[in-house]
Structure 1
Amino acid sequence: MDLEQLIINYGYLAIFIGTFLEGETIVVLGGIAAHMGLLDLPLVAATAFMGSFMGDQLFFQIGRIGGKRLLATRPVWQERIEYIDELLHRYRFWLILTFRFYYGLRNIIPFALGTMSVPFKQFFILNFVGAIIWAIILSCLGYLFGQAFEAFLDKYQLPAIIIIVLILAFILFMVKRRTKKKIIHKIEEHHHHIHPDAPNPEHPHSDNINTINHSNNTNH
């Protein structure tokens, strides 16, 4: 079985599984394959929508049913949950609609929202609409990306796909890494605002120093 046949036979299944778990890269690649005539662009977008919508709906339900018990065993998640809760109170509609674009929090947000006071109907509707927007944007982006490299793809199909995958993976990795650092910084600021007596993560021994200084001042 050659590469084209592999994509034709299993392309939609790969897109569904990839988007069920996360899958920005797989949707873009699906759009590229659609431009090459191996897949159908509307079906790529529809498959990406179904995978993303069903996956996030499942994570939301897990949060509703057993989220609090699971959080009790994962205290490291608590600061992110608190930060998401603050975002929910400030940007409720937009957070639920656009959480797929929140790299660094994208996977945990549906679960977190399930543990909070988000009605099932509200999440279902906004998740549905958000998944459509996300799937269309990324699949069309892949289609346009394939259009820009049409000549190269026609001549060097397999090497081109490998190169494109590596480039896309690197770009997404750098975007996620940078966004994740910003999010972690905001979470730390939020945590320090709520718990002003908590040790500064950049200076973990600062509390000990302050305690020693206070003790010395008391002795004098």
Structure 2
Amino acid sequence: MAELWADWGALAYLAAAGWAFFEGETFVLLAAAAGRATALIDPWLLMFSVWIGSFLGDQLWFTLGRKYGTRAVRKIPGAERKMASAIAFLERYGVLFVLTFRFVYGVRNVASAACGVARMPWLRFACLNFIAAGLWASAFVSAGWYIVGWLGEKGTIYALGSIGVVVVLYLGFKLVQYWRRPPAPPVTEET
């Protein structure tokens, strides 16, 4: 991670923003930990980069949800169920949901679209989203930065290696599940 910053310089912060546009907790933690261990990554620039990337990504999903409604997620497997869950959270918790959905596993990817589907006013969502993206960015950059101080460099390497192994095993499990699922019945056209 630190070598990426050494080789790419300012473009690495742009890559971090791009990564956060789509997701990015693990990336942000790793980048911040690498920054603490090597002093090659400025935590303030990293935080600002992922803040803006996350904000813009969720603004896009909000816009898609507002414009296309639930049709925007129907083509994504399992997204309709997550959308219904996100809308239920939004109706129950309102502003608190918008400020915290980035920290809730399972609904983050559709939460912004759910806010658009629920017809939340654009300006209100944009303001709340900007604050929430800042909270998210500062929390994960801080966590990654201070984890090295807490675990030490060697402990951090072991922890990150363990996380990497778990991720690879999880992806392998999902791949096996995908291969084992029965084929979809053929679609017949009605004439």
For normalisation by structure 2, the TM-score amounts to 0.74
| Aligned match of 1:94 | 96
SS in 2 for 1:39: coil
Deviation at 1:18, TM superposition (A): 1.3
| Aligned match of 2:176 | none
2:134 paired with 1:139: no
Residues 148-178 of structure 1: CA distance to partner in whole angstroms, max 9, x if unpaired? Answer: 354539xxxxxx75x554334467899xxxx
Deviation at 1:69, TM superposition (A): 3.3
Cα distance in 2, alignment partners of residues 173 and 88 from structure 1 = 33
Q: Which runs of structure 2 are paired with 1:197-216 in the superposition (5 Å)?
A: none
Cα distance in 1, alignment partners of residues 138 and 167 from structure 2 = 18
AA at the equivalent of 1:125: C
Deviation at 1:38, TM superposition (A): 0.7
User: Any stretches of 5+ residues in structure 1 without a counterpart?
Assistant: 154-159, 175-220
Q: Which runs of structure 2 are paired with 1:35-54 in the superposition (5 Å)?
A: 35=36, 36-54=38-56
Please tell me whether the aligned partners of residues 11 and 30 of structure 1 are also in contact (alpha carbons under 8 angstroms): no
SS in 2 for 1:104: coil
Please tell me whether the aligned partners of residues 96 and 127 of structure 1 are also in contact (alpha carbons under 8 angstroms): yes
Cα distance in 2, alignment partners of residues 67 and 14 from structure 1 = 30
Deviation at 1:12, TM superposition (A): 1.3
Provide closer, same or farther for how the CA distance between residues 47 and 164 of structure 1 changes in structure 2, counting only shifts above 3 A. farther
Larger Cα Rg: Structure 1 or Structure 2? 1
Deviation at 1:117, TM superposition (A): 2.3
SS in 2 for 1:57: helix
Matched-pair identity in %:
31
* Number of aligned residue pairs: 166
| Aligned match of 1:25 | 26
| Aligned match of 1:118 | 120
SS in 2 for 1:48: helix
SS in 1 for 2:119: coil
| Aligned match of 2:130 | 128
Cα distance in 2, alignment partners of residues 12 and 103 from structure 1 = 25
Deviating more after overlay: 131-140 vs 62-71? 62-71
Please tell me whether the aligned partners of residues 7 and 38 of structure 1 are also in contact (alpha carbons under 8 angstroms): no
Q: Which runs of structure 2 are paired with 1:159-198 in the superposition (5 Å)?
A: 163-169=158-164
Cα distance in 2, alignment partners of residues 11 and 60 from structure 1 = 26
RMSD value, Cα: 2.9
AA at the equivalent of 1:167: S
Please tell me whether the aligned partners of residues 51 and 134 of structure 2 are also in contact (alpha carbons under 8 angstroms): yes
Please tell me whether the aligned partners of residues 99 and 106 of structure 1 are also in contact (alpha carbons under 8 angstroms): yes
